[in-house]
Copies of this chain bind each other. A is one copy, B any other.
Amino acid sequence: MGEFELIERFFKRPAQQADVGVGDDCAIWSPQPGQQLALSTDMLVEGRHFLSTVNPRHLGHKALAVNLSDLAACGARPRAFLLALSLPRVDEDWLLGFSQGLLDLADAHGCELIGGDTTQGPLNIAITVMGETPHGQSILRSTAKAGDDIYVSGHLGDARLALEAFRGNLSLPQAAFDLARARMETPTPRTALGMALRGLATAMADISDGLLGDLGHILQASGVGARLDLSPMPGLMLTRQAWACPREWMLRCVLSGGDDYELVFTAPPAARAALKALALSCHTPITRIGSVIPDRSVLLVQEDGRELPNTFRSFDHFA
């Protein structure tokens, strides 16, 4: 099978919102009038972002999910994406699974595949997504204010727990491993919540490198600090429904695990009731974990009121 048949067979579908979709030199696409575009690109490399044994359907899902998570972090509505794919060889079963996982998630979020590129080489997946927000309503990292509450969506730490189990660093009961692995391989982009937070959240980021690292980006860009309450942290790990994670693992995974694709955001205390209602309507739990302080430091406060030294590191590809 050649390059063009591969595209035709696995990735080309009739253009929906695109004026010209897959198959010309460029995709031609018109954003809706009065909207700003939110654009993001994420590259996934075998052995670094996923294991070679991953189910290709899950990989297709995850490759788009991590990009949709960036749109959610800006409050943007997903519209379209481009896929650049480097493959060692044409494996039809793999391509079928990958494209199904990818396009199923795309359909679920109204995000159309409008163009791409395929080449031969080490397995590498680079997706660029485009979303829209009404003018001036994107939620940035730089606008958190002292006194704001700090929230996270969904669950944290499970993906890192699964990775440590894959690495042989700890052993999980099967039910806990299945839960953690699903969180690692098929993260859920928080699209609906991200959009609903427009006008309520003062700042937002998605959690890909770990809670402390990504919250750190908000704090740094906004010139503020945070006081975090550790007491709700155990409840953030979904795997705990099946297994009592040792406290040390739990804290490390929740605070600096990475690969979570949840949202961390700030909002004024006056928005608490509105946020509670909004989380219900989006079917996405949110948890208040602390507050923004004027001093540019991060305090980790334990149940007994004592401070825990912050020795957690976030993920850095070149550190």
Contacts and interface: CB of A to CB of B under 8 A. Distances in A.
Contacts of A37: 28-31
A196 to B, nearest CB: 17
A2 B319 contact: yes
Interface string A25-54: 111111101001111111101111100000
**Copies of this protein, total:** 2
A259 to B, nearest CB: 13
Given A26-B38, A39-B29, A121 B122 contact: yes
Contacts of A86: 43, 45, 124
A211 to B, nearest CB: 15
A19 interface: yes
B319 A47 contact: no
A299 interface: no
Given A36-B30, A38-B28, A43-B84, A119 B74 contact: no
Given A70-B25, A138-B28, A141-B25, A116 B316 contact: no
A70 B119 contact: no
Nearest to A44: B119
Contact of A318 (B40, B120, B204): B120
Nearest to A121: B45
A154 interface: no
Given A26-B39, A26-B70, A28-B133, 13 more contacts: A2-B316, A20-B138, A20-B140, A23-B141, A24-B140, A25-B73, A25-B205, A26-B38, A28-B36, A28-B39, A31-B31, A43-B121, A48-B121
